[in-house]
Amino acid sequence: MKHRIVVLGAGYAGAFSAGYLARRLHSDDFEITVVNAESDFVERLRLHQVAAGRDLPHRPLAEVFAGTGVRLRVARVTGVDVEQRSVTVVDGNGADRLEYDTLLYTLGSTVAENGVPGVGEHAFHVAARPAALRLRAHLAALNAGDRVLVVGGNLTAIEAATEFAEARPDLRVDLVTSGELGGWLGVKARRHLLRAFDRFEITVHEHTRITAVEPAAAIAADGTVFDADATVWAAGFAVHPVAAASGLAVEPNGQITVDSQMRSVSHPDVYVAGDAAFVIGANGLPLPMSCASAGPTSKQAIAAIIGDRTGREIKTTSLTYLGNHISLGRKDGIFQLVDGAAQAKPGALRGRAAAWVKSAIIGVAAWSVSHPTVGQAGHNYRAGVARERASDVAAG
């Protein structure tokens, strides 16, 4: 019987990992199945552009995995049973159960409502394509002078606010953040960020915490009412609750606790990559939920799966967080590098050059995911004696 590898999620981490495993592991010995809720590869990093009315390239996963041997199952994951090594999925035909020998969990994250009343009912977000399309339709129906309120001060909030202001200069865009906008950036980068917000005429309300969202307003802790024809919630990320419900060891925020080779510390036959993984980086700090974490965690999980299942030496990937790359509309941006302590370095790439670099990086990432067999010899590694390894680092 072939060794069954099931990959949950086909975002940047999942699609890349599945394609790489398929071209490295011999198809006579391994069977790889990818489960994803959508039939297309979604560029999550660009969903704020989708919401602003921009059309992105269409990348069907059936075409992405064509010729690789990967089996695609378009379905929603509703549960994982780590004791029975099975996954429950639901599609148009109802519920089904998939059994696995090795599980790679890359379901990522979604918007964090943070327990704020009204967010789920009245706010929009851009953490998933259906949500971005819903916001797109709503923004398209707004009239000149209507107000869009973006809640949050992170990268998603900044990119969404500037994208909306550039695409719809006839709208009034406000941003509310509980901290200081761009406070983690270096002096030059933050100065550039604030100039961009001034140029787009985005009104910023710092040190203001939203405690409730209503159909046409958001209420701050001090009682201030922010009128809004569209409230866009971008106040952080949360991990899908299926991880905690599965019996895997998780952190208080729901992330799956893994060792330095991305194995679950409680169930070493489960590997994790992307936002769902809680792992200590090279600087001794947890890697943040970020696109920048998807690459190194995916590469390490791939190396561990191949090594554990074929007996090959496991290559170590440096789990390093390099910095923040922020789009400020289509023609402006910031690339802020950080040091070993995750603090901003003095210099930063700014302006059109930063926007071009980010666009190139995103384009290359999407192209690489969409062409998993280009330039690579396939099906090299046969199954060997599986290594039963205990998790080597309890990160947490």
pLDDT value of position 382: 83
- Candidates 390, 127, 357; CA nearest to 237 is 127
Each residue's pLDDT tens digit, 222-248: 999 999 999 999 998 999 889 999 999
Q: What pLDDT, on a 0 to 100 scale, did the predictor assign at position 323?
A: 78
pLDDT at 396: 36
Is the pLDDT reported for residue 203 higher than 70?
yes
Amino acid type, 361 = I
Closest CA to 16 of 307, 373, 388, 390: 373
Who has greater pLDDT, 202 or 357? 202
Q: What are phi and psi of 126, to 5 degrees?
A: -130, 30
Q: How far apart are CA 105 and CA 301, in angstroms?
A: 10
Is there a contact between 126 and 48 (Cβ–Cβ < 8 Å)? yes
Distances (CA, A) of 203 to 60, 149, 151, 206, 392: 39, 9, 12, 10, 48
| Confidence at 258, pLDDT banded by 50, 70, 90 | very high
Q: What is the phi/psi pair of residue 89, to 5°?
A: -130, 155
Which amino acid type is present at position 203? T
Q: Which two tokens stand for residue 248?
A: 């895997």
pLDDT bin (cut points 50, 70, 90) of residue 395 is very low
Per-residue confidence at 197, pLDDT binned at 50, 70, 90? very high
Q: What percent of the chain has pLDDT over 70?
A: 94
Name the band, by pLDDT with cuts 50, 70 and 90, for residue 394.
very low
In the chain, what are the domains? Answer: 3-108+240-321+361-370 (3.50.50.60), 113-233 (3.50.50.60)
Q: What is the pLDDT of residues 107-120, one digit of tens each?
A: 999 999 999 999 99
- Calpha distance 144→305 (Å, rounded): 54
Tell me what the pLDDT averaged over the chain comes to.
91
pLDDT band at 322 (very low <50, low <70, confident <90, very high): confident
